[in-house]
Structure 1
């Protein structure tokens, strides 16, 4: 999996690209928080749920359906998210977790299509190193992971944020 920081950068970049008028700072932060929710599935290990199980790590909680259901609940209960844009943003924020996990070079892949298909999948290219857990993050492998995330996720996200900002600025200058 990518690191928790990298999961959070995706919705923050899209919120920056869209601007405060579309995605409020509170909604942007909520999106960043939602990106870590799918990994709560690791608690299943304590209860004997196997990694490859449908509810195991990178299973149901990493799917597009789970992201939409979770975001839908939040959109129904939180005024800040009670719009089509808010729902769509939160869904994409949470779904980005599983999608990023398909770009990693280890594990079993992610069950993106659950409940329609329990298959764990990887993207055709897997440029992101799987993040080491615990103290291993502060090792050479942790550094390699961070560098792969910078190249494969952070730089493209920076580009998305800058393009959105420049487009909004150009529109403002024209008006």
Structure 2
């Protein structure tokens, strides 16, 4: 899995790309929280839930359907999330977690298609180093993971944010 802060980068970059008139700063922060939330499934280890179980790590909570359900619940109870754009943004924010996990070189893959299929999926290419957990993070491997994430996630997200910002700025100057 990528590091917790890297998961949050994707929705923040998307929010910058589309602008605060479509995705408010509050919505962007909630999107960043949702992007991190799927890894709460590691709590299942303490309750005897095996990694490979559908509710184990990288299981159901990493799926696109689970992301859409969470976004729908938020849209139902939070006024700021009651638009198609907000729903789509929140769904994409949370779904980005599982999608990023499929790009890592470790673990079992992510159950992106749950509840229709519990198969753990990896992307055809897995360029992102899987993050070491706990005390092992502060190590040479942890540093290598951060460099991998900077190259494969942070840099593309920065480009997406800057291009979106630039397009919006250019469109304003043409009007």
Q: Distance in 2 between matches of 1:23 and 1:34?
A: 15
1:174 aligns with 2:174: yes
Q: Shift of the alpha carbon at 1:136?
A: 1.4
Write out per-residue CA displacement over residues 113-132 of structure 1, whole angstroms, 9 at most, x where no aligned residue. 00100000100000111101
DSSP 3-state at the match of 1:35:
helix
Q: Distance in 1 between matches of 2:100 and 2:128?
A: 9
Q: Distance in 1 between matches of 2:165 and 2:40?
A: 33
Alignment of 1:1-175 (within 5 A): 1-175=1-175
Q: Distance in 1 between matches of 2:30 and 2:98?
A: 17
Q: Shift of the alpha carbon at 1:45?
A: 0.7
Q: Shift of the alpha carbon at 1:162?
A: 0.5
Q: Shift of the alpha carbon at 1:153?
A: 0.3
Spell out structure 1 runs of 4+ moving beyond 2 A: none
TM-score by length of 2: 0.99
Q: Shift of the alpha carbon at 1:75?
A: 0.7
Q: Distance in 1 between matches of 2:135 and 2:35?
A: 22
Q: Shift of the alpha carbon at 1:134?
A: 1.2
Unaligned runs of 5+ in 1: none
